[in-house]
Structure 1
Amino acid sequence: MMHRWNKDDGQMDHQAATSALLQQDALRLRCLQAALSLGLHDWYLGAGFLRNLIWDALHQYPKPTPLNDVDLVYFDNTDLNRSTEQRYVQQLSALVPQVQWEVKNQARMHLFHQHAPYQNCADGISRWVEVPTCVGVRLDHSGHFDFYSSFGLAENWSLSLRINPLYPRPQLFRQRIKDKGWLELWPLLQVVVPG
């Protein structure tokens, strides 16, 4: 059973609250351990891996909403081969076959988005479409969570769904909300319509 969180709990420590949610989720912990085992230097499990977990908690769902996929993003500008990404998918799938793994090297993703080259993994994450999607977490060898959030984890706990102001694509923003059914899955979300 997930802990019940209230977004109005005052000045809660969002990292501690998010860490507590992760500790309660055996599947997500296994995913983090699997990703750590790859030995990558700069990596995160991002987007819905954290975003959905927090939204589930704020909706007081007794169990997590199933993950469509698990996004592992990493940065390695010495190896831009897609075959390397596929090899990582195979390794991760052997360790945690219950999830659909997506692996992308952020050192090449700027080409797909027609941006200047990204400097690191966090730079790539900061370009994702929605503010609450621009998040990631990784596990270190001592078992601690390392979070990255372009706009702060408080954004994820606010139940606001707004467009990334650094990468505004209003049409894609609206389409993703519709296609992913977020408002049906999490009806307390408040969409902040871009001006």
Structure 2
Amino acid sequence: MKLSNELEIVEAIFNDEWMMNVIRQAATLELPDWWICAGFIRTKVWDELHGFSEKTILPDVDVIYFDSGNLDEHIEKLYEKELIKLDSTIPWSVKNQARMHTLNKVEPYISSIDGMSKFPETATAIGITFDDKGELHLCAPHGVRDLLAMKISPTPYFEGSQIYFDRVKQKNWSATWPLVKVE
């Protein structure tokens, strides 16, 4: 499938039974301001653009949410356990964006989208959720141009950052997706 815009990304996810099942499972937690983000979507897009017939295995499925009323990291682990009960084959990772700013040593985030906008790479700063009517919503704070161009570049918050450079080296995305270009 040729993906060229946000609508086509949403359609590709909607037509992927496994991805929709993962999204439905995450929704059962009824977390405030929740999204599945990062590699969950990036991997789907790059697999499609590379014409892969089999899914690339994900190291984790990132579920983020925003709850400034409970910053206890322990609760995130309880949410992960709930998701593991639903499907233990999925490597769940649940993070409250209301506390994640402390890792990056920046001002507190005001929402999950704000936290997502401060992910290291533009192609990774993307999330999907659905509303009460079951309609999918895609969020790409830095747009989808880099994602669709298979280009790794830093978000404004990580320009020139050693964290960005270390991540790019460690992730080695072009080993899996040879058309990926690193800026």
Shorter-chain TM-score bucket reads over 0.9
Equivalent in the alignment of 1:69: 60
CA distance in 1, matches of 2:44, 2:128: 12
Q: What are the superposed Cα offsets for residues 68-92 of structure 1, whole Å, 9 maximum, x if unpaired?
A: 1000110000011112111110111
Residue 176 of structure 2 is aligned to residue 166 of structure 1: no
Q: 2:13 aligns with which of 16, 22, 26?
A: 22
Corresponding residue for residue 123 of structure 2: 132
Aligned residue in 2 for 1:123: 114
Separation in 2, partners of 1:162, 1:80:
30
1:16 partner amino acid: L
1:84 and 2:78 correspond: no
Partner of 1:48: 39
Task: Quote how far apart the aligned CAs of 1:169 are.
Answer: 4.7
Q: Percent same amino acid among aligned pairs?
A: 31
Q: Distance in 2 between matches of 1:38 and 1:151?
A: 27
Corresponding residue number in structure 2 for 1:106: 97
State the secondary structure of the residue aligned to 2:114: helix
Task: Report the RMSD for the aligned CA atoms in angstroms.
Answer: 1.4
- Equivalent position SS for 2:81: helix
Equivalence for 2:133: 142
The whole-number CA distance in structure 1 between the counterparts of 2:77 and 2:152 is 32
Q: How big is each residue's C-alpha offset from its partner over 1:8-30, in whole Å with a ceiling of 9 and x where there is no partner?
A: xxxx4x22211221123222111
CA distance in structure 2 between the aligned counterparts of 1:124 and 1:84, rounded to whole angstroms = 18
SS state at 2:158 partner: coil
Are the equivalent residues in 1 in contact too, given 2:142–2:155 (CA < 8 A)?
Answer: no
Alpha-carbon deviation of 1:108?
0.7
For 1:73 and 1:186, the matched residues in 2 are separated by 25
Q: Report the count of equivalent residues.
A: 183
User: 2:145 matched to 1:154?
Assistant: yes
Q: What's the TM-score once normalised by structure 1's chain length?
A: 0.88
Deviation at 1:35, TM superposition (A): 1.1
Letter of the structure 1 residue corresponding to residue 97 of structure 2: Q
8 Å CA contact 2:35–2:128 kept in 1: the answer is yes
Q: Distance in 2 between matches of 1:98 and 1:16?
A: 29
Q: Following TM superposition, by how much is the alpha carbon of 1:53 offset from its aligned partner in structure 2, in angstroms?
A: 0.7
Where in structure 2 are there 5+ consecutive unaligned residues? none
State the TM-score, normalized to the length of structure 2: 0.94
| 1:177/1:183 contact within 8 Å kept | no
Following TM superposition, by how much is the alpha carbon of 1:64 offset from its aligned partner in structure 2, in angstroms? 1.5
